[in-house]
C-alpha cells in the first residue's frame, strides 16, 4: 500500500489541531511553527521502503503485535482483546493522543507504559521491558491503527507541569559537548552531521524501524542514543525524565500525521 501521498496531503490539513487551555494558563510557544516530519529529511530509497507495506520490515513486528494482542497471558486468563476487542476499531486514535495524563496515577504515561499497566493490573501478566521486541511489537501494532491521524496530545490542566518538565529537559545543555536537543533539531536541521541529514526531531513516526539498528526501536531508545551522542549520561528508559520529554516532543509534532511504523536510517 502506497501511503506517501496520503500522509503528505494530511499533513497540512491536520496542523489545525487545537488544545483548550484553562483560564490564565499560558499557551506554550512552538519553536517551530511549521513542523516537518522526519520523512521530509529521508532519502527516496528510505521512503520507498516505508511507504510500501510489503517492503517495510516493521510489519514483521506488526504481525507479532497482532498475535500478542489476541494471546491470553497472565493469571487473569485474559488477552488485550478480552477488554478492547478489535484493535482496528478500539485503538484507532490512541497513538495520536499519547503520551497522556493518567488521572489515577497523577502523571503522564507513554503508550508503552500504558500497555504494561494493562498487563500487570488487568491481565496479571509481567510488565515487558521498555524497548524489548515483544513490547515494541504490541505498540507498533497499536500505533498502526492511528496511521494518518494527526498527533493531538492534551497538555492542559494537570498535565501541564509534566509538559513543562519535558520542555526544560529539551532545552538544557548536557554532556561533554554541552549541547541541548534544540542545537541539532532547531538550530541546524537541514544540515549534515557527517553523513546524516539532521531532521527537526519530530516523534510522529515512532515506533520506527531504524535501518542502522535493523529493528523497530522505541522513541526512548532513540532519546537515550541522542544523550549518549553528546557524551552525556542518559536517564533510564521509562524514567520520569524521558517520559516527560516524550510528552513535550509529541507536542512539538502536534498536527503531523502519525506515520508509524516509519523507516529511518
Residue 263 contacts by C-beta under 8 Å, 6 or more apart in sequence? Answer: 42, 46, 47, 49, 50, 56, 57, 58, 208, 209, 210, 211
| Catalytic residue selected from 83, 181, 184, 226 | 226
The helix or strand, by DSSP H or E, that contains position 111, with its residue range, turns out to be helix 111-118
84 vs 17, higher pLDDT: 84
Q: Is 226 a catalytic residue?
A: yes
Q: Which candidate, 224, 228, 220, places its Cα nearest to that of 249?
A: 220
Task: Give the Cβ contact number of residue 175 at 10 Å.
Answer: 16
- Which residue reads 529521508 in cell numbers? 42
Tell me what pLDDT residue 22 has: 52
24 pLDDT band, cuts 50/70/90, is low
Mean pLDDT of the chain: 91
User: Which residue ranges form the domains of the chain, and what is each CATH number?
Assistant: 4-14+36-264 (1.10.760.10)
pTM: 0.89
**In angstroms, what CA-CA distances link 263 with 37, 59, 120, 170, 204?**
12, 11, 31, 24, 12
Tell me what pLDDT residue 31 has: 80
pLDDT, average across residues 142-165: 97
pLDDT, average across residues 130-144: 98
237 pLDDT band, cuts 50/70/90, is very high
Q: Compute the C-alpha angle 102/226/119, nearest 5°.
A: 30
Task: Give the Cβ contact number of residue 66 at 10 Å.
Answer: 19
Average the pLDDT over each of 23-27, 57-61, 69-73 and give the range with the smallest value.
23-27
Residues 140, 57: Cα–Cα separation, whole Å: 12
Residues 85, 64: Cα–Cα separation, whole Å: 17
Tell me what pLDDT residue 148 has: 97
Residues 87, 64: Cα–Cα separation, whole Å: 14
Residues 206, 221: Cα–Cα separation, whole Å: 11
Give tens-digit pLDDT for 46-69: 999 999 999 999 999 999 999 999
Amino acid at each position: 500500500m502506497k501511503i506517501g501521498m496520503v500522509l503528505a496531503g494530511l499533513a497540512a490539513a491536520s496542523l489545525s489541531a487545537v488544545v483548550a487551555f484553562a483560564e490564565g494558563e499560558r499557551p506554550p510557544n512552538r519553536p517551530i511553527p511549521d513542523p516537518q516530519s522526519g520523512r521530509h529529511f529521508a532519502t527516496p530509497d528510505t521512503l520507498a521502503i516505508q511507504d510500501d507495506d510489503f517492503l517495510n520490515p516493521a510489519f514483521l513486528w506488526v504481525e507479532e503485535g497482532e498475535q500478542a494482542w489476541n494471546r491470553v497471558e497472565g493469571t487473569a486468563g485474559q488477552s488485550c482483546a478480552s477488554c478492547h476487542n478489535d484493535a482496528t476499531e478500539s485503538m484507532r486514535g490512541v497513538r495520536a493522543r499519547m503520551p497522556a495524563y493518567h488521572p489515577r496515577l497523577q502523571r503522564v504515561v507513554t503508550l508503552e507504559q500504558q500497555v504494561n499497566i494493562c498487563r500487570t493490573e488487568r491481565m496479571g501478566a509481567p510488565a515487558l521491558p521498555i524497548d524489548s521486541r515483544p513490547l515494541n511489537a504490541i505498540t507498533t501494532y497499536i500505533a498502526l491503527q492511528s496511521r494518518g491521524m494527526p498527533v493531538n496530545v492534551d497538555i492542559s490542566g494537570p498535565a501541564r507541569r509534566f509538559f513543562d518538565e519535558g520542555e526544560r529537559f529539551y532545552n538544557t545543555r548536557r554532556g561533554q559537548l554541552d549541547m541541548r536537543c534544540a542545537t541539532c533539531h532547531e538550530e541546524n536541521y537541514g544540515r549534515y552531521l557527517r553523513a546524516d541529514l539532521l531532521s527537526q526531531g519530530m516523534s510522529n513516526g515512532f515506533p520506527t524501524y531504524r535501518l542502522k539498528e535493523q529493528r523497530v526501536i522505541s522513541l526512548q531508545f532513540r532519546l537515550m542514543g541522542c544523550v549518549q551522542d553528546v557524551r552525556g549520561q542518559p536517564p533510564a528508559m521509562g524514567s520520569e525524565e524521558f517520559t516527560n520529554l516524550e510528552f513535550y516532543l509529541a507536542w512539538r509534532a502536534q498536527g503531523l500525521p502519525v506515520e508509524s511504523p516509519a523507516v529511518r536510517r
